Amino acid sequence: MKLSGLILLIMSNAVWAINGFIPHGFGIKAKGMGGASIAYQEETHGASWNPAGLAFIGNRFDFEEPDRQADNDFNQKQYFIMPELGLNVILKHKMNLGLLVYGNAGMHSHQSETEIDLSQLFFAPTLTKRFGKHAFGISLNMAYQRFLAKENFADTVSDQGYDYSMGVGGSIGWQGQFADEITLGAFYRSRTSMDKLNAYKGLLAENGEIDVPSAFGVGVAFHASSKTVLAFDVIRVKYSDVKAFSNPLHEGDNKLGMGFSWNNETIYKLGLSYKYNDRLTLRTGLNYSQSPNAGSENFFNQLIAEKQVTLGGTWHFDKRSEMSVFYLPSGENFGSSEAEPGMYQNSFGVSYGWHF
């Protein structure tokens, strides 16, 4: 396998769910609604996109266990598990302080003597201020990244082991209610500048730097009744700003460094929440995005699913405690022919929420 083959392997597996490098949603409830959370948040992790939403959910603690199982020609039933925590506390003067710990991205592939392992963890203290029916929020995104590339064909990546890097970025957001039925939201998340992975400066662009790309989006939520909410988000992820993603594939001497040949990605999320009774809330959603490497000239350009239906629900034990689940079923073959690698994946998770 040549060096470009290793990069292709990374490309084919650098997918948490179906939105390129990032999960299809943050928070178990949002995941059940196709990931929609910019204008409608019921849990702390919705602030991972729009920090302003914490102003409307009260004192709350969330513990989540998202999980993804991937089956493909490179992976055989790989499981990705990363516990996530969220805390929101009401302060004086209509302000809120939130603390979020969540996985921003992750993948692992192991075939023969080739292994790729990448994971990112975000720690995000968040502050919000409410002005009547409107709120503004800001988050400091502190990131921790771990990367491993192992293959005997190249000295630049052979036997280097894990390398680690840290970085800092930020997010700002707004959420506001108009009339009783309509809530709007918007956010911007800056590029998270990461330290270089020195052990892999011979493999990755910019001498081993994998920054987290910037993103921005808008959302609307329609409260059709006291039981039914319909939410819709549009998010744009700027992969073109990060050379590790946007640079083309090259072999041999390349001053620019290798990249994934990814384009910017626009993501559409549509979610429905229905309160069946005081105990049970049901959710479903649709998530759609075009593969960010759809323009690259290689057979991996069809590996990332473009659309998927999600399911979810919450059971309220009492007024203070609840358990939520979501499920993103398999069924999409990401290879375009029998001769090409295919991939199937199931994504599911559970969370416990406590109001205090």
What would the mean pLDDT of 162-181 be, rounded to a whole number?
95
CATH classification for the domain delimited by 3-355, as one of 3.20.20.70, 2.40.160.60, 3.30.460.80, 3.90.1150.10? 2.40.160.60
Please choose, from the candidates 21, 30, 38, the residue with its C-alpha nearest in 3D space to the C-alpha of residue 84.
30
Per the CB < 8 A criterion, the answer to whether 205 and 243 are in contact is yes
What is the per-residue pLDDT for 21?
A: 73
- Whether the per-residue pLDDT at 155 is higher than 90: the answer is no
Residue 294 — very low, low, confident or very high, per pLDDT cuts 50/70/90?
low
Going 88 to 91 to 94 to 97, the CA torsion angle's sign is negative
Top pLDDT among 53 and 161 is at 53
What is the per-residue pLDDT for 257?
A: 65
Q: Where are the domains of the chain?
A: 3-355
Helices (H), the chain: 3-13, 28-32, 205-208, 243-246
What is the per-residue pLDDT for 206?
A: 81
Top pLDDT among 2 and 57 is at 57
What would the mean pLDDT of 8-17 be, rounded to a whole number?
45
What is the per-residue pLDDT for 341?
A: 45
Annotate 1-19 with b (16+ C-beta within 10 A) or e (fewer).
Answer: eebeebbbbbbbbbbbbbb
- Output the average pLDDT for the chain: 82
pLDDT digits 0-9 by tens, 41-84: 999 999 999 999 999 999 999 999 876 555 544 444 455 556 79
pLDDT digits 0-9 by tens, 326-336: 999 864 444 43
Strand partners, 266: 236
What is the per-residue pLDDT for 342?
A: 46
Top pLDDT among 336 and 179 is at 179
Residue 243 — very low, low, confident or very high, per pLDDT cuts 50/70/90?
confident
What would the mean pLDDT of 186-190 be, rounded to a whole number?
98
Please choose, from the candidates 161, 317, 141, the residue with its C-alpha nearest in 3D space to the C-alpha of residue 214.
141
What is the per-residue pLDDT for 79?
A: 53
What is the per-residue pLDDT for 349?
A: 92
What is the per-residue pLDDT for 172?
A: 98
Residue 284 — very low, low, confident or very high, per pLDDT cuts 50/70/90?
very high
What is the per-residue pLDDT for 291?
A: 72
Give the DSSP per-residue string, 196-236: P-GGGTTTBHHHH--PBPPEEEEEEEEE-SSSEEEEEEEEE
User: How many Cβ atoms from other residues are within 10 Å of residue 293's Cβ?
Assistant: 25
What would the mean pLDDT of 302-325 be, rounded to a whole number?
86
Top pLDDT among 101 and 153 is at 101
CA distance 282 to 28: 12
Tell me what percent of the residues of the chain surpass a pLDDT of 70.
75
Annotate 50-59 with b (16+ C-beta within 10 A) or e (fewer).
Answer: bbbbbbbbee
pLDDT digits 0-9 by tens, 13-44: 444 446 777 888 999 999 999 999 999 999 99
Using the 8-state DSSP alphabet, how is residue 320 labeled?
S
What is the per-residue pLDDT for 344?
A: 53
CA distance 105 to 22: 5
